[in-house]
Amino acid sequence: MRFAIEIPEGEDEVPVWNDPAALQFLDGLVFRADDAAHDVVLRDADLLDGSEWFQHARQTTLDLLLELCELARASAWDTEQPDRTAWRVSTSAEAKQALRIANSPLKVLVENRLRDGALLEVAVRLLAGEPLRQLWVSPPVPPAIELLHSGGTGDMLRFMEQEATITRDTDLPLRLIVVVDSDRCGLEKPPSATATKIEQAASKLGVSSFILKKHEAENYIPDFHWKAEMKRDPRNPRWSNGMANLLSMARDQRDYCDMDKFGCKQVPAKYERSRPYHLEVLLWNVRQEQNQSVLTAMAADLRARDHSGDLKTILDLIDQER
């Protein structure tokens, strides 16, 4: 998120940086921004040098303030600044509210944490930029991003409406992204009626939504996973044939097939009890991998499978909304 600390509009109002009641909120805001990778912009950095905020700041706070001032002065000469909406902070009340907003997470709602949630984390670990990756993998307290799951599409509408009510009652902005399977059965086929209904409801509530272009989350699993899985029991045709058939399919056909029919959604208990879904196994392997060259190869394989750019689009949306 982006917060702009600036002179109040009323001529008789005390600037927020000279208001003793606001200083604790300003301190909290800059520290939270540092932890959660929020942007804090000082619109009037040259006015802060002799302010109450600067004069009474502890050394750790002062170091952050000096850094923000330098960034503000440098950006004054930058004609290509990003066009992003900023929360105005010019009074004590606005500073208090800004800190509340900064401490509230962006929520990402998926159908199933073990499957869709696993795919998102794999994408974050392999494809995301470093700020987003760190916020997801090593989250601050409170977290900047929170993954929610509805247990299927049936309850997604209720989850969205509930979240809208909570944010309205607590006077916080509604910051929610919904990711839903399309259940498409072909390239030119429309998403399911359920996915469309969720998208329409999200639009009415002011919620960002994304319908996967492929049939479901499992259709994004990259080749390296299936090749590794086949090696578990290569002489067992009941185990390996479905994966071999999957890898031999044309790209579009593979994108829209029902992975359950190939035995490529759940892992038989004799192979994996603790991680019953292939997406869980994929995530576990990515988490365990330490070799950077292997991770780079995994990322390239995932990009190839995500040829429609869905995962990158979702990551960009999360990065923009957080």
State which residues of the chain have pLDDT below 50: 76-81
Last-in-domain residue among 53, 71, 103: 103
Which pLDDT value is given to residue 65? 83
Helix (H, G, I), strand (E, B) or coil at 134: helix
Q: How many domains does the chain have?
A: 2
Residues 192 and 278 grouped into a single domain: yes
Residues 279 and 293 grouped into a single domain: yes
Q: Residue 69: which domain range?
A: 2-103
Which pLDDT value is given to residue 70? 78
CA triple 168-321-39, angle to 5 deg: 105
Which pLDDT value is given to residue 83? 53
Residues 96 and 111 grouped into a single domain: no
For 240-265, how does the pLDDT look when each residue is reduced to its tens digit (9 = 90+)? 999 999 999 999 999 999 999 888 99
For 270-281, how does the pLDDT look when each residue is reduced to its tens digit (9 = 90+)? 999 999 999 999
Sheet-wide strand order for 87-89: 39-42, 2-5, 87-89
Residues 161 and 52 grouped into a single domain: no
Last-in-domain residue among 39, 68, 103: 103
Cα–Cα distance measured from residue 282 to residue 156, given in angstroms and rounded to the nearest whole number: 25
Which of these, 105, 102, 111, lies nearest to 210 by C-alpha position? 111
Which pLDDT value is given to residue 85? 81
pTM across the whole model: 0.92
Tokens, residue 183:
């259940």
What is the amino acid identity at position 112?
N
Residues 110 and 61 grouped into a single domain: no
Cα–Cα distance measured from residue 232 to residue 271, given in angstroms and rounded to the nearest whole number: 8
Long-range contacts of 55-63 (CB under 8 A, 24+ apart): 56/23, 57/27, 61/27, 61/30, 61/31
Q: Produce one character per residue of 63-94: b if its CB has 16 or more CB atoms within 10 Å, e if not.
A: ebbeebbebbeeeeeeeeeeeeebbbbbbbeb
Residues 113 and 99 grouped into a single domain: no
